[in-house]
């Protein structure tokens, strides 16, 4: 069918990518290398190895990328306080550039001339994977089966699997989820089934990480996060690695019903899509990071970051992590974080994260001698405010005079 000799497949071992593996072997008559990324999805990955071996795959990569994922992708994104369309913490989006990076690395290591993925032609992930891959290797060939084959329904996929002896785990018959899910250390997403009706409330038994706020503990829990250069480095006085930090915040947030989201979002390809998300640890990190910035960032720097954040969020959502404009923004964002050092205390209670304290011994810009409502002993001359206000009102005063002529 083509001159492709070897292809690296992003492989989960599920129905779609198991069918893709066999389809690539049959349609392209090529050798397939499988790559499975452990980014904290919480699933056993060895079955993917066994399924790949069954179909003659000789080069199988199962990589633990959890620390790299949080350190080099999640944390930089959270330094910008990134949210898409006011709500979404980009849990799926931020994992794709790492997977694309590793696909290209493995292609180089194994001498493959193509990569392949299981993203459909309707979604954002095809864009994210492929923009990342082209940015890292402009000559790479990309095979996207969903844009080539006619297996465009679950029934056709199952029929193909049965015909070719591909084992299929019917998860929804074994206590699993009937939804289309994506999970990593930052979040779980749910799509499909009755969520395709935006008027339908999510079923309570859909959620995996979080208890409902109604069933969360009746007593609040206080935790303290320590920050260095904009990243959380210690929890309740104990230093943790990035991946361990996020995993523990997920546990604590999930226990208190924190981080659920039901969202209709605008996909890059043009359609609206309804999804539900659980991001307990990320919800805590966002609130805590803004709190430590509130005492350590200059006002105009903080406002500039807020102005730039929606653009930065769209770049990540749309797949431009490796684009020069995202990298340029990251340099600016990281520069602002040099003084974001200190601690934040938050209260977790029935779905809410409340900041109850924050301070920095080395970089706080909060001056109590000036901000006090008591006698400031001349630290701030209130009479100066009159001229400040009058100058700032000058253009409005001139305009008002013109109106009343």
Distance, first Cα to last Cα, the chain: 80
Q: Say which range, 170-184, 207-221, 254-268, 352-366, has the weakest mean pLDDT.
A: 170-184
Dig out the tokens for 274 from the structure.
Answer: 């309804």
The residue from 66, 102, 116, 125 that is catalytic is 125
Residue 252 is predicted with a pLDDT of 98
Indicate if 375 belongs to the active site: no
Res. 171 pLDDT band, cuts 50 70 90: very low
Res. 169 pLDDT band, cuts 50 70 90: low
* Contact status, residue 99 vs residue 66, Cβ threshold 8 Å: no
Q: What is the pLDDT of residues 41-52, one digit of tens each?
A: 988 898 899 999
Does the pLDDT value for residue 1 go beyond 70? no
Q: Tell if the pTM clears 0.85, that is, is over it.
A: yes
Residue 108 is predicted with a pLDDT of 98
Indicate if 3 belongs to the active site: no
The mean pLDDT of the chain is 95
Residues ≥6 apart with Cβ < 8 Å to 125: 92, 96, 117, 119
User: CA-to-CA distance for 222 and 355, rounded, in angstroms?
Assistant: 10
Does the pLDDT value for residue 170 go beyond 70? no
Res. 173 pLDDT band, cuts 50 70 90: very low
Share of the chain above pLDDT 70, in %: 97
Does the pLDDT value for residue 177 go beyond 80? no
Does the pLDDT value for residue 285 go beyond 90? yes
Homologous superfamily assigned to 6-66+94-178: HUPs (3.40.50.620)
More confident residue, 30 or 404: 30
The residue from 49, 177, 180, 262 that is catalytic is 180
Indicate if 180 belongs to the active site: yes
Annotation: CATH topology of 181-359: 3.90.1260
The residue from 96, 102, 274, 358 that is catalytic is 96
User: CA-to-CA distance for 33 and 7, rounded, in angstroms?
Assistant: 6
Does the pLDDT value for residue 176 go beyond 60? no
φ and ψ at residue 179, rounded to 5 degrees: -85, 160
Q: What is the pLDDT of residues 104-163, one digit of tens each?
A: 999 999 999 999 999 999 999 999 999 999 999 999 999 999 999 999 888 899 999 999
Q: What is the pLDDT of residues 321-378, one digit of tens each?
A: 999 999 999 999 999 999 999 999 999 999 999 999 999 999 999 999 999 999 989 9
SS3 labels along the chain: CCCCCEEEEECCCCHHHHHHHHHHHHHCCCEEEEEEEECCCCCCCHHHHHHHHHCCCCCEEEEECHHHHHHHHHHHHHHCCCCECCCECCCCHHHHHHHHHHHHHHHHHHCCCEEECCCCCCCCHHHHHHHHHHHHCCCCEEECHHHCCCCCCHHHHHHHHHHCCCCCCCHHHCCCCCCEEEECCCCEEEECHHHHCCCCCCCHHHCCCCCCHHHCCCCCEEEEEEEECCEEEEECCEECCHHHHHHHHHHHHHHCCCCEEEEEEECCCCCEEEEEEECHHHHHHHHHHHHHHHHHCCHHHHHHHHHHHHHHHHHHHCCCCCCHHHHHHHHHHHHHHHHCCEEEEEEEECCEEEEEEEECCCCCCCCHHHHCCCCCCCCCCCCHHHHHHHHHCHHHHHHHHHHCC
């Amino acid at each position: 069918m083509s001159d492709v000799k070897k292809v690296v497949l992003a492989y989960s071992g599920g129905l779609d990518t198991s069918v893709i593996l066999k389809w690539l072997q049959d349609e392209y008559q090529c050798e397939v290398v499988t790559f499975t990324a452990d980014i904290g999805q919480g699933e056993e990955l060895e079955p993917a190895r066994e399924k790949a071996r069954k179909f003659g795959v000789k080069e199988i990569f199962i990589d633990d990328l959890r620390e790299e994922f949080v350190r080099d992708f999640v944390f930089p994104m959270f330094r910008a306080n990134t949210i898409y369309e006011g709500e979404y913490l980009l849990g799926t989006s931020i994992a794709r550039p790492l997977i694309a990076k590793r696909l290209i690395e493995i292609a180089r290591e194994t001498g493959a001339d193509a990569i392949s993925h299981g993203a459909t032609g309707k979604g954002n992930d095809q864009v994210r994977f492929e923009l990342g891959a082209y940015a890292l290797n402009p000559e790479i060939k990309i095979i996207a089966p969903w844009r080539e084959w006619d297996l465009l329904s679950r029934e056709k996929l199952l029929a193909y699997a049965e015909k070719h002896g591909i084992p299929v785990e019917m998860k929804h018959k074994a206590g699993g989820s009937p939804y289309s899910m994506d999970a990593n250390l930052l979040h779980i997403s749910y799509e499909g089934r009755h969520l395709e009706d935006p008027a339908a409330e999510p079923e309570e038994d859909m959620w995996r990480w979080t208890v409902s706020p109604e069933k969360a503990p009746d007593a609040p829990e206080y935790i303290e996060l320590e920050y260095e250069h904009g990243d959380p480095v210690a929890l309740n006085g104990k230093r943790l690695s990035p991946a361990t930090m996020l995993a523990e915040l997920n546990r604590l947030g999930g226990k208190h019903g924190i981080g659920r989201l039901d969202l209709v979002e605008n996909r890059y390809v043009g359609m609206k899509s309804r999804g539900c998300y659980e991001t307990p640890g990320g919800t805590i990190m966002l609130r805590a990071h803004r709190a430590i910035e509130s005492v350590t960032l200059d006002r105009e720097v903080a406002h500039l970051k807020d102005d730039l954040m929606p653009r930065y969020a769209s770049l990540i959502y749309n797949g431009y992590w490796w684009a020069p404009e995202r990298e340029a923004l990251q340099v600016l964002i990281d520069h602002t974080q040099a003084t974001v050092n200190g601690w934040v205390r938050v209260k977790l209670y029935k779905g809410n994260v409340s900041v109850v304290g924050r301070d920095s011994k080395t970089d706080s810009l909060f001056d109590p001698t000036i901000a006090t409502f008591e006698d400031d002993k001349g630290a701030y001359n209130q009479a100066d405010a009159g001229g400040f206000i009058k100058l700032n009102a000058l253009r409005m005063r001139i305009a008002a005079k013109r109106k009343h002529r």
